[in-house]
Structure 1
Amino acid sequence: MNINKHFTVKSNWQIWRILISESDYLVLESRDKDTKEASFHSYHLETGKPLFENFQPDEKYYVGIETIYKDILYFHKYPKPDLPNHKGIAAFDIVTSEMLWDNEEYSFLFAHNEKLYCFKQGFDERYFYTVDYKTGEMLEDIGSDYRKINALRMEADRQNNFDDYIFPKLDFDESEFKPLILDNLKNPEVHGNIEYATFDNLLMFNYHLKEGGEFYTNYFRIIDLKNHNTLFEEALNKKSGSLFTDSFFIYKNYLILLKEKNGLIIYKLEM
């Protein structure tokens, strides 16, 4: 198995969210940690080429991503800075970098069968609607039938497919790979939990060592399960005052590493 660096991404701000569309477009949400100003970026995983970088909707602060559906990115706003609920839907085409439609009245629920399910908040109950995912045109007024909405949401959840993803496991103490990892590290000063995953004959994990007084370094390592040799190592975060989780995941044959909070390194895992 070859581990080949494919491309890197570096943002001026901290990466908050990482999503991948149905056509393998990587989408990032990054934010200034002080002002909370947001910007958005997209790259084609196959080529590494950017589709857009540092895109900002009209609202730069109180905005976030609801979901990606059929290569359309759906944004929401926050009605007030101190309220967590979402308001409004804006549809942005990832491929053309075009804002398709914007509706301030609806709030997003879920996407299913080429429709968006959304609602308006009444005085004491919600009123549900479907809109066309491409145009935002209202298709159906469902009223306040929450039972129908709950059934449709369950159906949509069942159709969501995460088979292409491998996320690190957290059960290190019970893992069959614990002896191998500890033997490979040969370092008793590991801090925090070790997260791990396997891909073909590769065992991947990240771990923290305290280096330079009170600071931690977050390392990522790959071991060959056949001969137990170390194939790869990368320092993901240096001089950190805290421990990191969710530092890596695999999508199809792409290994995606989060580097220093504001960067990604994408590797291809190839025979």
Structure 2
Amino acid sequence: MKAAGESVNTNTGKLVPAYELEWVYPVWQLRFDEKAGLIAVECREADTLQTAFSVFRAKTGELLLRDYKPAKAWWQNLAANHNGILYLQGVSAKGVGRSVGITAVSINDAQVKWQQPEFSFHSLTGNTILALSAAGESTELICLNPETGEEMGQAGSMAACPEKAASLSAEESRAIMVPQHYPAENKYFTDLKLFVQNKTGFDALYAIDYLEHKNMLALGFYRPQENKLQTYQLAVFSLTGELCLQVDLGKDLSGIGTDNFFIFQDTLILVKNKKTLLGYEV
């Protein structure tokens, strides 16, 4: 992975990223800690069965944890990022059945704080990990201390306390601004397509992603390539229609997807070619 600073230039020169973070393996998933302003990244390479975890500050790109690799890297995934700790969930070797084992890793020193091999991670509230027994089919949630992993009693069944299970994930979701996805059959697609064509000269295909924040709006769209594949491009405008940024986030695409850009901590973050994150202050 490499990190670059403000010397990175854009196509237009009107909006320059505060940072650029690039990983060797594709970005698999992200987890957010709103209070700390941190983003945890899980990168995974299916061909070589390699997995690594990193944590950085959303506003500056400062890396607090770089390419942490558990002993059994492929069989761990990122469950949560909260209060200076990464929570990793064990995955069975065949990828079927209930997940097994929870590992808590300190972001500051990349040391394992605790492990609970008998439980599987379910969710995280503000002060409690909700876990399930890794054996059997029980739906009874167990409370674990997030700092120590110690059992703190039962929380009830999953059906009886959905608000506990959903609390932190809902908080995390509210902290992130994601674009509205408008497929071609949506009534607003035609107007957005016309705007894109007038401002960029490109013909938008299939779907357009729209995100408005403060004094800017961002449009992600697919434009055709000569080989019958498509490029996903992002264009950022001021509210008066001035083009501030135009950048390709993916090429040679055969389908459409989501999660190509979002806003967190007043920072527009772009996922480019599945391996690079670009951060812009907005």
Which TM class, normalised by the smaller chain length?
Answer: 0.7 to 0.9
Show structure 2 runs of 5+ residues with no match: 1-13
Q: Which residue of 2 aligns with 1:106?
A: 119
The whole-number CA distance in structure 2 between the counterparts of 1:146 and 1:20 is 23
Q: Secondary structure at the match of 2:164?
A: helix
Which residue pairs with 1:63 in the alignment? 76
Question: Offset at 1:119?
Answer: 1.6
Which residue of structure 1 aligns with residue 130 of structure 2? 117
* Residues paired across the two proteins, number: 264
2:178 maps to 1:167: yes
- In the TM superposition, 1:4-43 aligns within 5 A as 4-21=16-33, 22-43=35-56
| Residues 161/61 of structure 1: CA separation in 2 closer, same or farther (3 Å cut) | closer
Q: Distance in 2 between matches of 1:121 and 1:85?
A: 6
SS at match of 2:18: strand
Amino acid at match of 2:224: K
Q: Please state if 1:263 is matched with 2:276.
A: yes
Structure 1 range deviating more: 86-95 or 115-124: 115-124
d(CA) in 2 for partners of 1:8, 1:16: 17
Instruction: Show the counterpart of 2:6.
Output: none
1:16 partner letter? W
Q: In 1, Cα distance between the equivalents of 2:136 and 2:245?
A: 57
> Runs of 4+ in structure 1 displaced over 6 angstroms?
none
Q: TM-score, normalised by structure 2?
A: 0.83
Secondary structure at the residue paired with 2:153? strand
- Contact between 2:158 and 2:165, CA under 8 Å: does it hold in 1? no
Q: Report the AA paired with residue 265 of structure 1.
A: L
Q: Which residue of 251, 255, 262 maps to 2:264? A: 251
Match of 2:236 in 1: 222
RMSD of aligned Cα (Å): 2.5
Q: Is the 8 A contact 2:234 2:246 kept in 1?
A: yes
Preserved contact between residue 121 and residue 127 of structure 1 (Cα < 8 Å): no
User: Relative to structure 2, which stretch is displaced further, 122-131 or 17-26?
Assistant: 122-131
Asked if structure 2 preserves the Cα contact closer than 8 Å seen for 1:131 and 1:139, the reply is yes
Return the offset for 1:214: 2.7
For residues 40-51 of structure 1, the aligned pairs below 5 Å read 40-51=53-64
Unaligned runs of 5+ in 1: none
SS in 1 for 2:93: coil
Instruction: Flag the 1:158–1:212 CA change in 2: closer, same or farther, 3 A.
Output: closer
**Could you tell me how far apart the structure 2 residues matched to 1:237 and 1:69 are?**
30
Matching residue of 1:181: 196
Kindly indicate whether the alpha-carbon contact (under 8 Å) linking 1:14 and 1:33 is maintained by their aligned counterparts in 2. no
Q: Give 3-state SS (helix, strand or coil) of 2:205's partner.
A: strand
Secondary structure of 2:133's counterpart equals strand
AA at the equivalent of 2:72: E
